[in-house]
Every structure is written in C-alpha cells, then in structure tokens.
Amino acid sequence: MMKGVKVNRRSFLKMLGWGGAGTALAGCDMPTTVTLEEGKEEVVSYLSPEEYVIPGVGVWYASTCTQCDAGCGLHGRVREGRALKLEGNPDSPLNNGKSCMMGQSGVQTHYNPDRVTSPMMRKGNSLQAVSWDEAMAELGKQVSSVSGDRFAFVSGSLSGHQSVLTSELLSKVGSKNHFAYETINTSIWQAVSKDLLGDAMPVIRYDKAGVILSFGADFLATWMSPVHNAGEYAKFRQGERGVLVQVEPKMTLTGGNADLWVPAAPGTEGVLALGIANIIVSRGWNKVDVPASVKTELAQYDLNKVEKITGIQGSKIKRIASLLSERGPALVLAGESTVGQAKGYEAASAVMLLNIIMGSVGTTIEPSVSFPENALAAKQGNTSSLKAFAQGLSDSKYDVVFFYNSNPIYSAPEALGVESGLDKVKFKVALTMFPDETALKADLVLPLNSAIEDWGTHVAAYQGGSATMSLQQPLMEPLYKETKGFGDIMIALLSKLDEGYKQFPDYYAYLRTSVKNMPAELTGGALASDESFWNGLLQKGVLKTTGVTGSLTATLAVAKVGTPTDHLDQTSLTLIPSARLGLWDGRHANIPWLQEAPDQISKVVWDSWAEMHPHTAAEMNLKNGDIVKIESKSGSIETQVAITKAIHRGAISVPMGQGHKEYGRYAKQTGANSLSILDPVFDHKTGELATHATQVKVSKTRKNQILIKMGGSDVQMGRSFVRTVSADQLRRTEGGA
Amino acid sequence: MSLSNILDNLSRFRQDAESERYGHHDYEHRFGMAIDLDICIGCNACSTACYAENNLPVVGKDYFEQGQAMHWMRIERYWDDEELEHPERGASFIPMMCQQCGAATCEPVCPVAATYHTPDGLNAQVYNRCIGSRYCSNNCPFRVRYFNFWSFYESSWPEPLNQQLNPDLSVRDKGVMEKCTFCIQRIRVAKDSAAREERNMIDGDVITACAQACPTNAIVFGDTMDPTSQVSLAWKKHEVKRGPYTHKEAKSDEEIRGYRVFDELNVDPSVMYLERVRDSEV
C-alpha cells in the first residue's frame, strides 16, 4: 500500500482535505480502522470518535430532585432539547454535587412509558379520556359546591410554593383536612427531639462524632437526608476514624457498614438503650450530671435482665457502653425498627436519654437551622395523618378528595380500609403522572408534568445546618401536550374560587411574582425584584440565606419502655417491612433501573423476597426460593425465601415497594406488598403506624422458584477482593487513641 | 494482528517490564482510579449513574437469572467467612468494573483485535469489529465483560425511554461484547475542550459518571501519569505502583491500605482499592 511513506492515515486525510479532494474520497469505503505502518499496529476505535467528529456539548441546567423529599439540588444535562442525565448540584449545601440511585433515575420517571397522557374522567365504570376544559369545568363545579369540612387533600410531603398554593386552596374551600402522608418518615424522632431537646429538627453532626450508636436509623439509605448524611459519614470515617455500632433486627445499608452489628430481639431496642444508660451512670461515665432519681429508675435495667430481654450478650452490652464513653463525642440515633412499635415514642426517648447523658446535645447534636419563611417550610408527611384520613373515610366524612404524590391504596395497610372507604367518597381526584392503584380508583385523573418538566420551589425539612430554598425548573418541554404542572392546575382552580388569582396565567407567573416580592431576609440581602436575582436563582438553583437558629434544652427523664412481651411468642415471627434506597415506599417500582439494581444487602433483583435466618429456615425445612405464605391478623402474602444471617432469628423481612396491582408494566404483579398485611397498630403517643409490630405465621407452600440474585458466592473463598484491616492497627500508626 | 507483531510486542513488553515505564505502549495518559472501600457504603449510586451515562440495557428478570445482566459497574457484597450466628462486622462491599489492565488478559485472545489498548491506557472495545467469540470475557479474571446475547433495544427502551439515550455513544446490539470504558466519551469531550483552549488536560477535567455520583467521594478518577493528580497522589501515598506484582511480606506502615485486586496475576490493573477498615476492638 503505502509502505515506506512516512505519513500516517490521519495526516494523510488532513492533507486530502487541504487539497480539496476530501469530498471525492468521502464515498470510498476505505478500511478506516487498521493501518499497518512501520510494523506498528494502530487500531482506531469507534469508541473514540475520529478527529473531525466533534462531540456534542450538553447544556446543564439547575433544578431540584423530587424522587424523595430530601430536596437535593440537581444539574440536568440537556441536548437537542432532551434531558439526558441528572447529577447533583455542587451549589446545594444538602448534597454537594452528589446524588443517589433514585436521583439518577429521575430521567426514567420522566421518560417512563407508562405515564398518563391525558385527563380521564369516570364515565360509568371506566375512565375515559376527556379534554382539559371538561375536566376543569367538572373540577371547578365539585370544588365550589363542596362544603368545606367535606373536602380533603391527601399528599406526600410538600414544601415551597406548592405548599402555599395547597394551603390557599384548602382555605378558600374552607377545609382543614390536609393529610400529608409518607410511609418513610422520621416523625417519632422529631417528636422526641421536640419534647426532650426543645427542637424538633436538630442538626446531626455525624462528622463531629467519634462513635455513632444507631438504633435502626438507616441514615445512609432512608433516614432524613441520605445523600447529605453519606457525605457527612465519609468525614466521620476519615481522619480520626469514628466507630459505628448499629442495633437492628434486620441489616440495613447502614448496618452493613457498621463496625459492630447487633441484632437485638425485635422491639427490645428501648430496653437495650436503658440498659446501656444504666451501665454508664452506674460507672460514672456520664458526661452530664444525672439526678439520683434517674439513676434509681435506670437501676431496674440491670445487665442480666437486659441480656435476657434483648438476647444480646452482657459482655457486648458492656462493650457498647464503654465505647460511648471512651470514643466520644457520642451520637445516638433512633430509626424505624426501633420506633415502629406500639411504644415507639418511649423507645426513641430511651435512645435520646443516651444522647443527653453522654453530652451529645450541643456537640454532635446542634440546634436546628430553618429557612426564615414559615409558609414555605416543609409540611412533612407522616403516618398519623394516614390514620386520621382512614378514620374520616370510615366515618363517611368526605365528598371530594384530592390525591397528589400519594398512593394510599397501595401503601396503606389493608386493615385501615382505605380502598373500601374511598367508595363512600363521591368525587375523587388524582393528580398523578402514573396509573397507580389510587388513580385508577379516582373519578378524575389529571396528568401531571414530570419533575423535569415542571416549576417548583422546595425547602427541605432537614437542612443539615444550612437555610436553603431549592428551585425546580423545567429541563425540557413537556413530552406530552396534555400534561400540566401541579402548580398550573392549582392556579387554574384557585382562579375559579378567587378573582385575585386570575392575574396569573400559570404557575410560572405566580412563582416569578412571589420570588420578586421576597423580603431581604430571605434573599440574603439581594434585591429580589431585580431581574439579575431571578437569573442568578435559575443559574445556581439554590437560594441560600441566613437561617433561624433554634435552641436546645435537654430534659432528663427515663422513658417507661416497659417489658416487651410480643416477641416471646415462639410460634410467630416479627414482620419487618424494611425500606430500601431504590424502590423507596413503592413509588419507584416502575423504574426499570431500580428494579434491576440488586438490593444492597440481599442482592436480589426484580422481585420480593422474605429474609430469614438459616436457623429459622432450617426449623421449617426451607431453602432459598421456596415460596412461603406469610400471614398476619390482617392478611397474607406469598413470596420466596432468601436465607441470610443478617437478620434476627425471630424476624422475617419482606422489603416494601413491590407487589403493585397497577402502576405500569415494570411494577405490576412484581413481588408482594408487605405493607398491605401490617396490623393497624399505632404508636400510642404520636399515632404513627407501628411498622415493626406485626407478628406473622409463616407456612411452607408447595411452590418454589429460583431466587434471582447477583453473584454466585456470598463469601470470598480466600480470593481477597475486599481486604480488611483492623482499625486499632491503623490507630497505632497514626499515634492516636 | 500478525504473528510478527505479536512477537514484537511481547519482546518489548518483556524488556519494559523491568523499567519504570512498564508495558510496551507509548502512553499519552494512563487513566486510573482509587477506590476507598472504607467509605464506600455500597449504595448503588455509581452503578445507576453508569446505566444513565452509558446506555446500559435493562435485561429483565429471566435474563438476569442467566447471568446476562449488563451492569458495567456492579457492587459486590461479601460476608465474612466465619461460622458466626450473625455477620457482626457488617458486609464487605466492592464496586467492580473493568480494571483497564495495563497487561490485559482480554486483549491478546481476541481473534479480530476488537479489544485493544489505547494511548490513554484503556482497554477499548471496537464494537463494529467484535464478532462475539467471547474469548475476552472468558479470559477476564474480574468477570467484567458483558456480552449482548440478545438485542435489547426494543425491550429495554420502549418509547419514550429511548429519548434518554446518551447520543455520545452507541447502543450495542446482539452479538457484541461491551464493558466499562472509564466514560471514554467524557474523556473525549475533555480532550477537545483542552485542545480548543490550547492547554493540556488537567486533573478534574474528566470525571466518570460513577465518581461524579458517589455520595461519599469514595471513587477518585484521574490520570496516573500526571504526578500531581489526586489519583497519583493516592497511589503514591498508599505505595501502589504500576507494573508487575511485587510480593510484600509486610506493610511498612499500617496506614497504607492500597492494593490491586488480582495483582498477583500480573495484569497491572489501573484501579487501586483501599482496604476496608473494621474496628476489631469494638
């Protein structure tokens, strides 16, 4: 060919280009990938484009993630008018440019093939597509004729201007029935913080802690603000490495990262906390003075008793107590498996007592910082509102009910009778993106824009020490002509009830005006009416301001945790409907990436599974993949067994999120819904659903299937992929403690 | 691929194996990673970010069962191999993806030279040359090469999900091998921008989708040939060097936690892991 000529293919082509002969060769099918020159092999991959191919440049816009209510800031990559990739916004003090798997999947919520694409109204027995005019006319008629107390609005957590508009609608209708409902919440922790520390949402300084003792708080995956927490956790582990001890009956992601994982008997965490407190005060390790009366009360939780109730070796309990004193500053947290009990409030109070006596209040637990505008603050969802709503339904209290970002027919325990109760509601409106269980039961379905197509403002409930409002802006034009923004619908509806709203053609106009009128204390001194302020907000995506700092005053008291007896029943197991970072409370079951992502601990994909301890499984002669029937007082489900040592012998865990009857092709008929069979047990103090208080009978069926999970081996077989070093060796070389 | 080339390359490889340079390539960059297993929490953010960036198909339950999932980056989870009632020390997580070996075992076995070494130190896969012999995947000790047993385009991206596809890289069809590319499309964009601005690439110009997403910053990506890059500094601090495996009797300092998986196979992986730490006194 061209042997001996010192010219390579690229410069040859360039030369041709200069000569104007490039076009003449364009049609020739020259072998473009291999040249053998000077005995050198040079293969050009199509992976790296040719030099004359210019890679497309994406444009990044700032917005806010709405996959859970943590309110992380986003950057979205847009090319040719399409949103392609979401990444964390480095300007957001919540997530500092990072994101979780649910945040990454925002694009699959947006481009999901099962979205509702036009308004639908119930005619006869079926939902039929109607025009927006017809839908809004009917909606206006229903809303203006309903009497105030018979109107209810059911939503997930809400904040920012969406929350303002919802409150406006409720007040115009004359109703107080707003039910903000979230299965995954931190209500009991907040109630206890409020009562014992005087501040519901104190800032948790993981980075300042030397030892974290977490009673079931899965702060790396589902608790408070996971991405923010993970960033703080990394600081906690680096430098002088902090120690993490996790107490819980079923290993969560946080438990998987613990230095010591302690499976106390389900429902006995409160007793364990008081037992640890007793050791601390009796040895004088407490950092804060403890009155004699408290010491006497704690004395009843002596080691033998606590050992017997919790099933944890006394030596281990003593070790945990000494860790708290030696490796401080301490931080003690309480999460779902601890507080999801009939006496959950007491259990969380017992945990908080440890924080108080170890002097964490003021060191690892700092006063809350909140955004200085209450109207924009988060209305956090909880399950006590679900209970109240279900009660209202059974009392036939409502004629018109709105559902937004909430799907109670799926996620409420069947025993609450939400589905049958809804039959008594004359007009049900679902503002939704997807044909979920609740939407398909509605009389009017209004298709919403996705988060990537909509405007909004978000003020996260947990701000981690900052005071930030995050702006959500559309990254692209709506995919479908017939979908609308939530705010747009609210503005349209409000204009029917109040002339004042007619000045706003849409939600954008309302938002723009609201931001223009923001007082200086919200804008950090900038002039909000200035055009550049708005442009800056669009660019940055976040508005940081000086927050209002709360104050902490600790109250020392010993909670009456009692002696839990439920678990003593040897014939039943405690059902743990554990929450997953991924499918969350079931709202992400329609995202294929998240269905195919192996569960972090069990590594199972695409289905439900029941985690059981090998000992428990052996007693029942069960092996992986056997289908079992799990029966509570309130119902039963069937699913496959996944045997794991990462669970207490007396527990069976079926993660929540699967088992949808509707909700699109990826979610429908996949797995079983463990939330549906929960007994209607509530925390007696806060009214929150006791998610970990359901006892179940497990029986073998004759069916089995292959348990589909990632990876063939659960141990490394000596191949040392993951090598482990002990921390005391590390410390010795660092010359530290 | 001629026999003389193979022999020539092999002898050069041997000659250079002793030297600092190690290997038989004239590198412009050698991209590498450092992954701290003590702060990796196993959350799957990196893996999902990889699906979003690299047009990875979702294969569904049945194909997953047959081991045909296409997760370029997967989080493996291991339990301690001890006869305890419970895993007291938690789980061991490790993000596993193509280690972009300097002496890759996948490369020499390809009958059509579809997998080759780039001047950036990457094992690149030329999709349109791949004939699907799967020798490379058979020869990969890390099991990180993924073969398209089926055409997933229709099943994985039903309208309008296909609109999410990244236009900077292709969707691979049936019969083609694929694997982690260290986000080669991002490297290309960074190179182009640097060239346009008439400067050399600097640390931070490229960040892979996984490293970008990681909530704990456990993954550090960069050019190991740039002595000032974060990744180079990490390799240096933890005394991990490019080149053949050198058996160390004992660590000079316990704080040094760096190692390369399957280093003893002499494949010269471009990914350094830092040992997971557990407090055994606890």
Residues of B in contact with A669 (CB under 8 A): none
The predicted-structure confidence for B229-279, as pLDDT tens digits, reads as follows: 999 999 999 888 888 887 776 766 777 889 999 999 999 999 999 999 988
Angle at Cα B198 formed by Cα B197 and Cα B200, nearest 5°? 100
Structure token digits, residue A53: 């191919």
Give the length of chain A.
Answer: 737
Cβ neighbours of residue A674 closer than 8 Å, sequence gap 6 or more: A575, A577, A608, A630, A637, A654, A655, A656, A659
Assess A614–B contact: CB distance below 8 Å, yes or no: no
Within 8 A of B160 by CB-CB distance, chain A residues are: 111, 113, 479
List of chain A residues with pLDDT < 50? 1-5, 19-41, 733-737
Nearest C-alpha neighbor of A254 from the set A226, A209, A210, A220: A220
Query: What pLDDT, on the 0 to 100 scale, is given for residue A34?
Result: 41
- Cα gap A607→A590, rounded to integer Å: 12
Nearest 5 degrees, angle CA A389-CA A392-CA A394? 110
Which CATH class, in words, describes the domain spanning A120-180+373-549? alpha beta
Residue ranges covered by each domain of chain A: 120-180+373-549, 187-368, 569-704
Distance CA B84, CA A294 (A): 37
The answer to whether the Cβ–Cβ distance between A259 and B90 falls below 8 Å is yes
CB contacts of A95 in chain B (<8 Å) are 215
CA dist list (Å): A29 to A24, A26, A463, B223:
12, 8, 60, 36
What is the CATH number assigned to the segment(s) A569-704? 2.40.40.20
* Angstroms from B255 CA to nearest CA on chain A: 5
Choose, out of A8, A10, A48, the residue to mutate when testing the contact with B (most B CBs < 10 Å): A48
For B179, nearest residue in chain A (alpha carbons) = A47
d(CA B220, CA A28): 44
pLDDT for position B248: 72
Q: What is the pLDDT of residue A358?
A: 94
DSSP code, position A56: P
Q: Give the orientation angle of helix A507-516 with respect to helix A486-497, to 10 degrees.
A: 90
pTM of the predicted model as reported, rounded to 2 decimal places: 0.91
Q: Tell me if residue B251 falls in helix, strand or coil.
A: coil
A430-483 confidence digits (pLDDT tens): 999 999 999 999 999 999 999 999 999 999 999 999 999 999 999 999 999 999
Residue B93 and residue B42: Cα distance in Å, rounded? 5
Q: How far, in Å, are A235, A264, A603, A625, A644 from residue A709 at the CA level?
A: 32, 27, 5, 11, 13
Answer yes or no: is pLDDT of B15 > 90: no
Q: Closest CB to B90: pick one of A45, A255, A593.
A: A255
In this complex, the residue of A33, A105, A723 whose CB is nearest that of residue B129 is A33
DSSP assigned state of B104? -
Q: How far apart are the first and last CA of chain B?
A: 57
Structure confidence by residue, pLDDT tens digits, B109-121: 999 989 988 888 8
Closest B-chain CA to A115: B160
Q: Which domains does chain B have, with CATH numbers?
A: 3-274 (3.30.70.20)
Q: Which tokens go with A249? A: 């009956």
Contact at 8 Å (CB) between A510 and A491?
yes
Give yes or no for a contact between A431 and A415, defined as CB atoms under 8 angstroms apart: no
Structure tokens at B4: 């003389």
A120-180+373-549 and A187-368: identical CATH topology: no
Q: For the purposes of burial, counting CB atoms within 10 Å of the CB of A165, is it exposed (0-12), middle (13-18) or buried (19 or more)?
A: buried
Give the DSSP letter string of A500-569: GGGG-SSHHHHHHHHHHT--HHHHTT--TTSHHHHHHHHHH-EEE-PPEE----------------GGG-
CA neighbor of A235 nearest in space, from A269, A274, A209? A209
Which of the listed CATH numbers 1.10.10.10, 3.40.228.10, 3.40.190.80, 3.30.470.20 matches domain A187-368?
Answer: 3.40.228.10
d(CA A14, CA A318) in angstroms, rounded, equals 76
Q: Which residues of B touch A323 (CB under 8 A)?
A: 282
What's the CA gap between A449 and A655, in Å, rounded? 29
Cα separation, A283 vs A305, in Å, equals: 18
Q: What is the helix (H) or strand (E) element at residue A127, kind and residue range?
A: strand A126-129
Q: Does the beta-carbon distance from A47 to B169 stay under 8 Å?
A: yes
Establish if A88 touches chain B: CB-CB under 8 angstroms: yes
**pLDDT at position B276:** 92
* Crossing angle of helices A160-173 and A507-516, rounded to 10°: 110
Question: CA A123, CA A139: separation in Å to the nearest integer?
Answer: 15
Q: Which residues of A touch B1 (CB under 8 A)?
A: 41
CB-CB contact of A575 with A672 (8 Å): no
Question: Given the structure tokens 């203006």, which residue do they identify?
Answer: A144
Report DSSP state, residue A20.
T
User: Alpha carbon B262 to chain centroid distance?
Assistant: 13
Contacts 24+ apart (CB under 8 A), A79-82: A79/B167, A80/A56, A80/B167, A81/A476, A81/A477, A82/A476, A82/B163, A82/B164
Q: Which of B43, B159, B217 sits opposite A221 (nearest CB)?
A: B43
In three-state form (DSSP H/G/I as H, E/B as E, the rest C), the secondary structure along B153-185 is HHHHCCCCHHHHCCCCCCCCCCCCEEECCCCHH
Selected for mutation to probe chain A from B11, B78, B96, B239 (highest A CB count within 10 Å) is B78
> Higher confidence at residue B201 or residue B15?
B201
Query: Per residue in B165-180, pLDDT tens?
Result: 998 888 999 999 999 9
Q: Which residues of chain B does A86 touch, with a Cβ-Cβ cutoff of 8 Å?
A: 52
Is residue A439 within 8 Å of A424, Cβ to Cβ?
no
A111: CB partners within 8 A, 6+ apart: A479, B160, B161, B163, B164
Residues 6+ positions from B78 with CB-CB distance below 8 Å: A713, A714, A715, A716, A721, A722, B91, B92, B94
